[in-house]
Structure 1
Amino acid sequence: MTRYFTDEHEWIDVDGDVATVGITDYAQSQLGDIVFVELPAVGTSVEKGKDAAVVESVKAASDVYAPITGEVTEVNPALEADPALVNSAPEGDGWFFKMTIGDSGQLEGLMDAAAYKDFVANL
């Protein structure tokens, strides 16, 4: 499994032709306590760079953007009951949705872990 990152602080794990999407630890720390997550419906087509989900914290609401184009195949049901999973396990159990990979070439524009770490260090 390969993990990529966006400059909007989403991560995407790629396993074959399926990708899992969530927000980074940096993103959740900037948002504060997460109180609500609005996930896309299964079957929704998402487009790279466009909003795919919404996360609300005690500070603000923020869009979660699709890192690549594809179709949502599964959402994380645990977030409905416990949105704080995004705070406690943002890059694990706090994932948002799984999707098909519409164009694997779009992965080339994303950062690897080292590049993302450097990106965050310079914010």
Structure 2
Amino acid sequence: MNSISLVSPNNVTANAMVRAIDMIRPQIQARRPALVAFCVGTQINGTPHLGTSLVQTAAFLLAATARRAFAVEAVVRFGALDNAPYDVQLDPETHHAYQVTYHHALGADGVNDMIDKNYRAFFDSLADATGIDY
């Protein structure tokens, strides 16, 4: 009988983050910057899913680790991509797909409202928990 070893995605992510700082160590040591900015982009299309939240959390944790490991200021920069498909229409004759983005459907104010509603409190809590500004 064969045994199957189950691997939790949470363990895989956590273990990958343990040494993530090593990916940037050579650049930090060579350049000795005064500030390191970690950019995290998110396609704005509603409530964030678990993967989005994990990536955003990882950015804050990596920034906090960099600050601690290299005695350098660190921040997270949030980039809101407003090109997510709000609606896709197929041309009945050519079958070409035409996309209306959230930006075009909701306008800049609507996208900003969506960011405030779905991301602001989460980012504020990550900033509070890590001491990293965004």
Q: Which has the higher strand share?
A: 1
Q: Which has the higher helix share?
A: 2
Q: Which structure is higher in RCO with an 8 Å CA cutoff and minimum separation 6?
A: 1
**Larger Rg over CA atoms:** 2
Give the structure-1-normalised TM-score. 0.24
Give the structure-2-normalised TM-score. 0.23
